[in-house]
Amino acid sequence: MDQSVRAQKPAEIYRSFIMDSTRWENFKSRDGDIFICTPPKCGTTWTQMICALLIFQKTEFERPLSEYTPWLDMLIAPIDRVLAMLEAQTHRRFIKTHTPFDGLPYYPGTAYLCVGRDPRDAFMSMGAHFQNIAPEFMGKMLVGAKPGAKMPHPQGGTIGERFIKDITAPTIPGATGNPNGVLPYVKSFWDYRHLPNIHFFHYDDMKRDLGGQMRRMAQVLAIQVDEKLWPQLIQAAGFENMKQNADMLAPDAETGIWKEPGNFFNKGESGQWRAVLGPEELAVYEQTLRERLSPELAKWIEKGTLG
């Protein structure tokens, strides 16, 4: 694809057991829409919460967060129902997606918030994430999946072997394996970073300076916030508050996906991989970064802007 421009229609299709990018086909955009674009376990719900706080400028909501900001790609809810819900919304819309940029429609009037994280941290977080998924939910997912889809099987081997398999997974559009791994996902947006409506945020930057990153997000979204409101909005976006309110904030909790909604917000820490990954795994990781990413992107994806 010519990286100097971007056509409106997606160039690729991405499918997995849990998501399908073709669900965007009948979406009707509005100027001002916000797409929250992240690989899994890279601050998706955090960013959704920040957007909710900025848009509504209050800290308590009448409905679960997912009802304001649905994951459009997800197969569990009929797409007609999701589109009808979005069409009925009168507030500024903010929509979750795990589809890479070349699988999304492109609208000049939409803000694309791409959130990245150190792939090693995302990998560690994903392990706890899978342990918290209710087994019966997987059966619900199979009902909505495309013909031929199969439930993912638990990975065998050591944690180091699983990490190598994950970080070196092929990234072929249309594949049902790992279409939204951190490296290919963020790169799909990074290649178009010259476009004025693509904005990058990093998980660790939000940990280092949550208030500063929330103010930057308000700026790129052209949202004015009364200075007196900032302390309570920042507190509401903090990890402890989100964990305490997991029944309302954990994604799709009303579907029964989680064994324990509070455990969705597991630790919110970075660097746990240091106690787990050894020289062999890290050598493969470094080689994969060199092969797939530019030095500039490799540095940012690990450290963010403030690191």
pLDDT at 1: 46
> At 176, is the pLDDT very low, low, confident or very high (cuts 50, 70, 90)?
very low
Rounded Cα distance, 307 and 305, in Å: 6
Q: Higher-confidence residue: 127 or 45?
A: 45
Q: Residues 268-286: what's their mean pLDDT? A: 91
Per-residue pLDDT tens over the stretch 5-33: 687 999 998 887 788 999 999 999 999 99
Query: Catalytic: 194?
Result: no
> At 231, is the pLDDT very low, low, confident or very high (cuts 50, 70, 90)?
very high
Rounded Cα distance, 138 and 34, in Å: 29
Sign of CA dihedral 259, 263, 264, 270: negative
Rounded Cα distance, 43 and 49, in Å: 10
Q: At residue 78, does pLDDT exceed 70?
A: yes
State the chain's maximal CA–CA distance in angstroms. 54
Between the alpha carbon of residue 233 and those of residues 22, 113, 143, 227, the distances in Å are 35, 19, 39, 10
The reported pTM is 0.88
The active-site residue, picked from 91, 98, 153, 199, is 98
Q: At residue 301, does pLDDT exceed 60?
A: yes
Q: At residue 187, does pLDDT exceed 50?
A: yes
pLDDT at 248: 84
Give the H or E element holding residue 198: strand 198-202
Q: Which CATH architecture has domain 21-303?
A: 3-Layer(aba) Sandwich (3.40)
pLDDT at 146: 61
Residue-averaged pLDDT of the chain: 86
